């Protein structure tokens, strides 16, 4: 059962990533990224990492993707213009892909003789992790949320039309 679920959600993750690259509209790309993040959360859940799965959904698929979507909508981005790409990317891209695939193949082939690693008894529970996060690391956690709020305000300020100092659209009378 685990193998079937892994194949389904890994395939969904790969399909979402490929769709993300092929889309020309930014909103569709952001929605494809939500599919990728959600699939990764299910894969984390299958590995027994409940906290990582919940954080993946709440932080990445939730907050960050909402931020991306709002920024794209505020900037009023339209369809992308397709180009043939640069010569440098074509010249370096194929050899780089070949090197990465050969390194991955080498690691997989050398790892065939290794025995599986057993889990130890020192597995941290979600309760212990939340106590550390919300007691000892509360200040960095809150600073991060303030930084995200500043990024949202910056995106709104950048998306405002030119010549608009008071938040009103130019040319509109009350």
Residue pLDDT, tens place only, 79-93: 666 677 777 877 888
**What pLDDT is stored for residue 174 in this prediction?**
47
Mean pLDDT of the chain: 80
45 Cβ contact list (under 8 Å, min separation 6):
53
35 Cβ contact list (under 8 Å, min separation 6):
12, 13, 15, 16, 19
Residue 126 clears pLDDT 70, i.e. is over it:
yes
Residue 9 clears pLDDT 90, i.e. is over it:
yes
pLDDT > 90 in the chain, percent: 17
For the chain, the structural domain boundaries read 2-81+126-159
Per-residue pLDDT band for 162 (boundaries 50, 70, 90) equals: low
Task: For residue range 22-77, list pLDDT tens digits in order.
Answer: 888 777 888 888 899 999 999 999 988 888 888 888 888 787 777 777 777 777 66
CATH (residue range 2-81+126-159) = 1.20.120.1200
Taking the C-alpha atoms of residue 6 and residue 11, their distance in angstroms, rounded to an integer, is 8
- Which is more confidently placed, 103 or 65? 103
Per-residue pLDDT band for 17 (boundaries 50, 70, 90) equals: very high
Per-residue pLDDT band for 151 (boundaries 50, 70, 90) equals: confident
Burial of 160 (0-12, 13-18, 19+ CB in 10 A): middle
Q: What is the largest CA-CA distance in the chain?
A: 76
Per-residue pLDDT band for 117 (boundaries 50, 70, 90) equals: low
Q: Are 24 and 51 a contacting pair, CB within 8 Å?
A: no
């Amino acid at each position: 059962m685990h193998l079937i679920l892994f194949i389904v959600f890994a395939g969904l993750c790969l399909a979402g990533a490929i769709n993300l690259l092929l889309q020309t509209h930014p909103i569709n790309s952001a929605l494809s990224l939500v599919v990728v993040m959600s699939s990764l959360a299910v894969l984390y859940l299958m590995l027994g990492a409940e906290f990582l799965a919940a954080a993946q959904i709440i932080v990445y698929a939730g907050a960050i993707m909402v931020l991306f979507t709002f920024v794209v909508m505020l900037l009023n981005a339209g369809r992308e213009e397709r180009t043939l790409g640069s010569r440098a990317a074509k010249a370096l891209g194929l050899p780089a892909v070949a090197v990465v695939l050969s390194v991955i193949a080498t690691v997989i082939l050398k790892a065939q003789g290794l025995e599986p690693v057993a889990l130890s008894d020192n597995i941290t529970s979600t309760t212990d992790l939340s106590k550390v996060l919300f007691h000892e690391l509360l200040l960095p956690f809150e600073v991060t949320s303030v930084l995200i709020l500043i990024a949202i305000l910056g995106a709104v300020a950048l998306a405002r039309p030119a010549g608009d100092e008071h938040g009103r659209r130019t040319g509109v009378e009350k």
